[in-house]
Chains A and B, each alone.
Chain A
Amino acid sequence: MKRTLINRCVATAIIVLPLLLASGSRVFAQNSNNKEVPVKELLRLPGRVLAETKSARPEGDLRLTGYRVEELKLPRTLNVEIRGQQIAVDRAWRVTVTGGPFPVRALPAVIWIDDQIVGNGIENEALSQVSAITFDSSLIREGGIVSISYGEDKETRVRVSQRVQLKGENQ
């Protein structure tokens, strides 16, 4: 396997989240009282917008209109593995690409920032946005290029035209 896709911190983003997601609605194991956060809840959890672009002119076949990066304050502390280490986290980041309608395909949507995979994209019901969640703050960086592919083939990525511009104190 081409390890470049599953290396460093991205490996954790790819592997940890799906493993946590593996139990579906019983998703995010909590380290204290064994309660868990459903993925549905995580997708709907209000977030603090760190960066966002919106374009009135859709671009490309996917008719991309922008992205949104949100910081999520988790209702409970979670133990996750990041870069091979178990770490207690109380925050996550939700990266959402907007546009569409995004096709419902066999290959999953994958959201990237630069050459790092943020995670598998989950479509909303209207197919107007695709979101991925990561616990790795290092992926969220100023000037990063947000892109989306179907499957993990880098060559097929479609990028959002504007780079990540973190707001104010988040830079």
Chain B
Amino acid sequence: MRHLRNYIHAFCLTALLLVSAGIAFGQVPDPGAPGPLAVTREEYNFGDTAFQPSNFPGPVELLASIHYPTNLSGGPFPLIVLLHGRHATCFVGGTQLLQWPCTANNSQPIPSYKGYDYVSEVLASHGYVVVSISANGVNAVDNRVQDLGALARAELIQKHLDILKTFNTTGGAPFGTKFVGKFDMTRIGTMGHSRGGEGVVRHYVLNDSVGAPYGIKAVFPLAPVDFNRFVVNNAALNVLLPYCDGDVTDLQGVHFYDDARYNVPGDLAPKHYVLVMGANHNFYNTIWSPSSPFPGATNDWLAFVAGGHSDTQCGTVAGNQRLTEAQQRGTGLAYMSAFFRAYVGGENQFIPILTGDAPPPPSAQTSNLFVSYHAPDDPNLRLDVNRLLNDTNLTINTLGAAVTQTGLTPYELCGGEAPQPQRCLPDQPNARQPHTTPSARSPKRGLSQLKTGWNNLTGNYNNQLPAALGNVSGFQAIQFRVSVNFADARNLADLAQEFRVKLTDASGSSTSVRVSNVSQALFFPPGKVGPVPKVVLNTVRVPLSAFGGVNLNAVRSVQFTFDERLQGAILVTDVAFASAPQ
């Protein structure tokens, strides 16, 4: 009978939350839907060897496409710059080559920069100018330099921004004065794919180091590498992580988010990442995808992961969860569009998609993805309860209040600074634990996480709040990041975990919410081959509106109550009250 009441309660709460979400966010438009403006596509090309990055062993082309609203009378328009990643540079017939310029007989360039036209067209139709840069010259020789081309890519972006500035001020060939006054160089977003992902981060740092002549407001590394561990501070960040990435198998790009969280006090920029289940590395670029006519196009999971075909999540066996090319590009389109339109264009209506408060829009073509969000370092937007950065945080949280636990084992931190163990899952390969995968060109450690588990229904993890900080009524949610630890046998394979989040106020009144009522983040990480399963900590945001009966002006504790499953094991970090950016 008690169980029945619990189920009814859970059902009602779920229904209430869903209805609330529908009311609150049902009107969120689809950022990836084509806009009303006609779009023109052109290119500029100053030659295959027109640019020489500093201390780089080869010349680079200055070639880019530019998508813009055909009717330019409404400018200046925000600017989005796209940069592809590492791929073969030239081809002859069905043969790919790695050279630059393409000098082999009858060889031609592989136009990787055209691979994101599907994003450019939509953004331009909403009033953005989108420039996609060709970087074959970098790709041809970047393995010969220590940073694997990050600085060369950054300098290439900066060079293109210089060119665009010229178009925007005095004008210049091949466009004459067409674009004079049409680019808003104070509102720029950058997206880089693969090595281009690190390139846009490196560019942000480069631009900042020279006085930020260009207003980079938002940086979107897509399936990025992070060899060098540069950090984006004070600009919006969104990292897209394809769960079935067969190239950057360790999803090392999650470091961009992890490293940026508490890096600069007062950083008012929001940070996000999106874990896309069933997505691989290459399908985000049409030129790199199997439907492309160009050599070198592959399904990277199948091509690069030994035995990858047989994986239940990422392979080709019956029941696999792989996304098609179109579906996968849908996720890229939806989340790039939402991100740039929100943080470059100021179209704040899309923010709930980025915080996870609104579901994936129809253009994403899948709902099997997980959004994580780190709120700006503004006391009105984020109150860190427990950053879980060091051993002190096992007993005293970030607010200076007591932390207690009952029945948890282990109860320890891993992944962060020494003396924490470098990896949280010591017997698992790096590719299965992205937050702690080492960086060959940086000594930085990974994400500090609480590694814990329970063996009966009495387990709990409790963070007190000082009375002076107990008024959390101004926040939207209590949130944290969590993953099921697939390497701990207390989690049954393929079965989602469950626990409750309980708030207690000064009068002792408390209410708890099952995680599954608001998030599917407690899924058992799927897959069995090579880089999968893998632990990626996804954000769970529990709206404070769900804690009816608790005085949100005087909350005294946040508790995770492990009484929904007899046993289990999780990794947790970043417990905070938080709101979406304003």
Contacts and interface: CB of A to CB of B under 8 A. Distances in A.
A47 interface: no
A22 B146 contact: yes
Contacts of B56: 24-25
A156 B250 CA distance: 12
B519 to A, nearest CB: 30
B451 interface: no
A120 interface: yes
A127 B99 CA distance: 10
B438 interface: yes
Interface stretch (B170-178, B296-304, B574-582): B296-304
Nearest to B197: A106
B147 A156 contact: no
A103 B56 CA distance: 22
B507 interface: no
Contacts of A2: 422-423, 430, 438
A21 B146 contact: yes
Interface in A118-138: 120-127
A113 B429 CA distance: 20
B479 interface: no
Interface stretch (B84-92, B396-404, B496-504, B552-560): B84-92
B538 to A, nearest CB: 23
Q: Tell me the interface secondary structure of chain B in the complex.
A: loop
A61 interface: yes
A61 B85 CA distance: 23
Q: Tell me the interface secondary structure of chain A in the complex.
A: loop
B443 interface: yes
Contacts of B303: 61, 103
Nearest to B142: A108
A152 B423 CA distance: 16
Contact of B146 (A18, A26, A40, A155): A18
A98 B112 CA distance: 26
A151 B86 CA distance: 14
Nearest to A108: B143
Given A23-B55, A40-B57, A101-B96, A106 B194 contact: yes
Contact of A155 (B57, B281, B429, B441): B429
A105 interface: yes
Contacts of A106: 85-86, 194-195, 223, 225, 247-248, 281
Contacts, number: 110
B306 interface: yes
B57 A104 contact: no
A144 to B, nearest CB: 22
A24 B144 contact: yes
A40 B148 CA distance: 15
A39 interface: yes
Contact of B145 (A24, A107, A153): A24
Contacts of B37: none
A127 B96 contact: yes
Interface in B126-150: 139, 141, 143-148
B341 interface: no
A105 B88 contact: no
Contacts of A105: 86, 247, 300, 304
A140 interface: no
Contacts of B217: none
A88 interface: no
B306 A125 contact: no
B296 A104 contact: yes
Contacts of B187: none
B57 A153 contact: no
Interface in A141-171: 150-153, 155-156
Given A2-B422, A22-B55, A107 B99 contact: no
Nearest to A20: B146
Given A106-B86, A153-B250, A153-B429, A14 B146 contact: no
A128 to B, nearest CB: 10
Interface string B499-521: 00000000000000000000000
B98 A125 contact: yes
Interface string A10-53: 00001000110111111000000000001110000000000000
Contacts of B86: 104-106
A1 interface: yes
B104 interface: yes
A25 B57 contact: yes
A38 B56 CA distance: 11
A-B residue pairs, 10 tightest by C-beta? A22-B146, A18-B146, A24-B57, A1-B438, A125-B99, A106-B194, A23-B55, A25-B57, A24-B55, A104-B88
Given A2-B430, A123-B98, A152-B438, 15 more contacts: A21-B144, A22-B147, A24-B56, A25-B57, A38-B57, A61-B304, A101-B96, A104-B88, A104-B296, A105-B304, A107-B225, A120-B148, A125-B98, A150-B247, A153-B431
